[in-house]
Amino acid sequence: MDDRLFSFKQKSQDFIVTEELPFKFANEGDVFFVFFEKRNLNTMDVVKHICNSRNLSRLALWIAGLKDKKAITRQRICIYKSALKKIGWENGFLETIGEVAKVLDTWWHTTPIGMTTPIKNGFYIKLRANKKLSEKEKDISNRKILSLFKKWFPNLFGNQRFGINGINPQQGSDILAWRLKLQDKKDLVFKIQAYASKIFNEYLHTRTKKWLEIIDGDIVIDTANTVKNQLGLYQAKSDTIKIFDDTKDKVFFRYPEHMRWEIAFNKETMIATWPVIGYNLLLTPKDSAAGKKEQWLLEKNWISEKSLKLCIDYKIYWIRRPLWVFPEKVHVHFQQDDILLNFSLPWGAYASIMIDELEKTLWVKVS
C-alpha cells in the first residue's frame, strides 16, 4: 500500500523554473534576446525546432542552461544580428519560437549568454497532498522541509545532463579518446561536458559519506564572498586557508601557486570544490589528500594531456564546482493540504537533486 503523504509533478504547473540573469540588459548591441516559456518540452526541443524550421546552424543559437521537460520553464535564448538577418529579423525569429513556446519579452544586448554564464534559477514547486492532513501531519511536514532547506546538499549534476540511457557521457568519453567525431561543434562540446559532469558526480559520491568533510589540499570557495570568491587552499594541519592567485597559464594541468595570505577556515561558508574538466585544468597539489583523490579519478577516466587537447581546440574551459550547495530565498507555506515551495539555487545547481532530498525526507511520490 502506498501511503506517502504527497505527490510531485502530477501536472507541469507543479514545477515552475525561472532563469535569473547576473546582469542587466544594455538595450543596445548585436545580440537579440528572447525570454520564452515552454511546457512539456526539453530546451533542446525548442532549439532544434528553430534550427530545422529556419535552416539555421546550431552554432547560431545561445542558451545558458537546459531546463526540465515536465515543467513550466522560463528562460532566454539569443542570436547575433548577422544570423537574425538570414531568418527574417525579429519577427521571423519570434514567429518560429512562438510555434512551440510562449514569447514573454525581448531585449538587445552586447554579448550572448552561454552554458558558463553564472545564472541562478528560481523555483516554484507544489507538493500535492494525497489525503486530508491533520494539523500534526502539517506541522511535522513543515518542520522537515524547513530543516532540509537549512542544510547544504550534494551539488550533483541532474539526469537531464546525461541524456536517454546515459548516452551523452559515453559519447563524450569516446570523443576525448578520439574514437568518435561529431560535425556539430556545440553538440560535441556538450557531450564532452556531459562526460565531465559524470566524472564530477562520481567523485562527489566518494565524498558524501562524511558530510561536508574538508580534507587537506582541498581547493575551497567562500560562499559568503568575504574573499571575493577567490579560491583558497585548505591546510589541515593549521585549519587555515591559503589564498592564491588564480593565474591562467596556457597549460593542460596546473596547480595553486603565488600564495598571497592565510585566513582562518570557516566551516559555515567555505565549501570544497572539484574540477569539471576542461582546458587549463586547475588541480590540488598532488601530494595532498585531496590531490591523491583527484589524480586517481583522472587517471581512471583517462584524462590526460592528449584528451585535454580537444578541450583547448574547442575552448572548453575548466571550472571548480562546489561539492555542496545551499538553497536561497526559501519560502514554504500550505495551500489547504498542499505544500508550496519557493527557493532559488545558484548557477549550475539542479533542483532535481533537491527533489531527491525532499523525496527521502517526506517520502514524496514523484510522478
Print the SS3 string covering 260-298: EEEEECCCCCEEEEEEECCECEECCCCCCHHHHHHHHHH
HSE-up (13 A, CA, CB side) for residue 72: 13
**Cα 246 from Cα 281, distance rounded (Å):** 11
Please tell me the predicted confidence (pLDDT) of residue 328. 87
Mean pLDDT across the chain, nearest whole number?
A: 87
293 and 195 in a common domain = yes
Query: Which pTM does this prediction carry?
Result: 0.76
pLDDT digits (tens, 9 = 90+) for 163-195: 777 899 999 999 888 888 888 887 888 899 899
315 and 267 in a common domain = yes
CATH number of the structural domain spanning residue 101: 3.30.2350.20
Alpha helices in the chain (DSSP H): 43-54, 81-86, 89-98, 135-149, 167-176, 185-207, 289-300, 305-313, 351-362
pLDDT digits (tens, 9 = 90+) for 39-85: 989 898 999 999 999 999 888 999 998 888 888 999 999 999 999 99
Which residues in 208-242 are b (16+ Cβ under 10 Å) and which e? eeeeeebbbbbbbbbbeeebeebbbbbbeeeeebb
User: How many residues are recorded in the chain?
Assistant: 367
Answer whether 73's CB lies under 8 Å from 16's CB: yes
Residue range of the domain that includes 132: 6-11+119-151+326-366
HSE-up (13 A, CA, CB side) for residue 86: 12
Please tell me the predicted confidence (pLDDT) of residue 10. 62
* Domains in the chain, number: 3
**Cα 67 from Cα 246, distance rounded (Å):** 31
N-to-C CA span, the chain: 16
| Residue 1 included in any domain | no
Q: What is the full per-residue pLDDT of the chain (367 aa) written as tens digits?
A: 456 788 877 678 889 999 999 899 999 999 999 999 999 898 989 999 999 999 998 889 999 988 888 889 999 999 999 999 999 899 999 999 999 999 999 999 999 998 778 888 999 999 888 889 888 888 888 888 888 888 788 899 888 788 777 899 999 999 888 888 888 887 888 899 899 999 999 999 888 777 678 999 999 988 876 555 578 999 999 999 999 877 666 678 888 888 888 899 988 888 999 999 888 888 999 999 999 999 999 888 888 888 888 888 888 888 889 999 888 888 988 999 998 999 998 888 888 787 777 777 776 555 5
Among residues 309, 288, 300, 84, which one has the least CA distance to residue 175? 309
Percentage of the residues of the chain whose pLDDT score is greater than 70: 94
| Residue 61 included in any domain | yes
| Residue 16 included in any domain | no
198 and 320 in a common domain = yes
94 and 127 in a common domain = no
Please tell me the predicted confidence (pLDDT) of residue 249. 67
- Per DSSP, the chain holds a count of helices (H) and strands (E) of 9, 20
333 and 184 in a common domain = no
Q: Is 91 left (phi over 0), alpha (psi -120 to 50) or beta?
A: alpha
**Scanning the structure block, which residue is given the C-alpha cell 592567485?**
245
Please tell me the predicted confidence (pLDDT) of residue 1. 40
